[in-house]
Amino acid sequence: MKYFVVFLFALFSLSAFAQEEGRTKISGTVVNEANLLPKKDVNVINLNTVKGTSTNGMGEFEIEAKVNDTLHFSYIGFQSIKIRVSADWIKNKTGFKVKLTEKAFAIEEVFIPRYLLTGYMEVDTKLIALNEAQRYSISGLPYGYESGGNSSSQVKKVLGALSNPADALYNVFGKKGKEMRKLREFKKDETVRNVLASKYDRETVSALLGIEKKEIKEILKNCNYSDTFIETANDLQIMDAIKGCYEDYKLLKKNK
């Protein structure tokens, strides 16, 4: 009888734990705050599970979540927002309305430099600015480092990152271990991959990893990625780069 009671208690505990950890499907509608019209193709990502979805033609979405999960809503031309899932939302499962606000853009004059080409290849190749970013491979190591140039100082910077990278990156990687574990998950969900591949503003990267945009740049600079890459890569490439940098950090810190 005693063992039976213990068994029931263990079964009840496991059931309660599973229920607490389990997520349920919730739904809602995304609208334009200005006119309350539904927004189609709004990206919705659960930052805790790194899984996403998008709204249909009626602005409706459905996603798995639990209490205190954070949902990130983004759409081109609108302010991205984060919303914490409440107990009431989980209880009711539907009826939640999310309002997105349009961004205010100031149109400025853009100057595009003109290249006066001569028609002679030897001359014209010197007139056009080239991307000099390079990726250095270190013999014996399974990874390389990109640098902004090919000067001797840049090469020294690359080698310097190998000798003492852990100290430079600890403030981000060392204190954000939980968030950095999401780097293993971001490619598993098609919606998340597509969102990252289509964006260049670093908002989704910042939201997923719980870091400031300026920290993203600092991470990549400490891992010797060029300014060209940092400024022009899409968010999927940036996440890939941070993932590689984090793996290097863990390896070098372990062997330090």
User: Is the per-residue pLDDT at 144 higher than 60?
Assistant: no
Ramachandran angles phi, psi of 144, nearest 5°: -135, 180
> Mean of the pLDDT values across residues 105-114?
57
If you ran DSSP here, which 8-state letter would residue 247 be given? Answer: H
Average pLDDT, the chain: 77
Could you tell me which residue, 212 or 7, shows the higher pLDDT? 212
> Mean of the pLDDT values across residues 176-204?
88
Q: What is the pLDDT of residue 221?
A: 87
Please state whether 208 falls in left (phi above 0), alpha (psi between -120 and 50) or beta.
Answer: alpha
pLDDT band at 204 (very low <50, low <70, confident <90, very high): very high
Q: What is the pLDDT of residue 106?
A: 57
Q: For the chain, where do the domains classified as CATH 2.60.40.10 start and end?
A: 22-100
251/256 Cα distance (integer angstroms): 9
pLDDT band at 7 (very low <50, low <70, confident <90, very high): very low
Q: What is the pLDDT of residue 254?
A: 74
User: Is the per-residue pLDDT at 195 higher than 90?
Assistant: yes
User: Is the per-residue pLDDT at 147 higher than 90?
Assistant: no
The CATH number fitting domain 22-100, selected from 2.60.40.1250, 2.60.40.10, 2.120.10.70, 3.20.20.150: 2.60.40.10
Could you tell me which residue, 22 or 8, shows the higher pLDDT? 22
186/68 Cα distance (integer angstroms): 20
> Mean of the pLDDT values across residues 172-187?
80
Q: What is the pLDDT of residue 182?
A: 87
Any long-range contacts for 155-161 (C-beta under 8 Å, 24+ apart)? Answer: 157/224, 158/224, 161/222, 161/223, 161/224
45/23 Cα distance (integer angstroms): 14
> Mean of the pLDDT values across residues 32-56?
96
Q: Which of 68-72, 117-121, 160-164, 248-252 has the highest mean predicted lDDT (pLDDT)?
A: 68-72
64-68, 116-120, 157-161: segment of lowest average pLDDT? 157-161
208/250 Cα distance (integer angstroms): 20
User: Is the per-residue pLDDT at 215 higher than 80?
Assistant: yes
User: Is the per-residue pLDDT at 152 higher than 90?
Assistant: no
pLDDT band at 93 (very low <50, low <70, confident <90, very high): confident
> Mean of the pLDDT values across residues 208-218?
91
DSSP states of 165-209 as a string? Answer: HHHHHIIIIIT-HHHHGGGGTTTT-HHHHHHHHH--SSHHHHHHH
One-letter amino acid at 250 equals K
> Mean of the pLDDT values across residues 44-68?
96
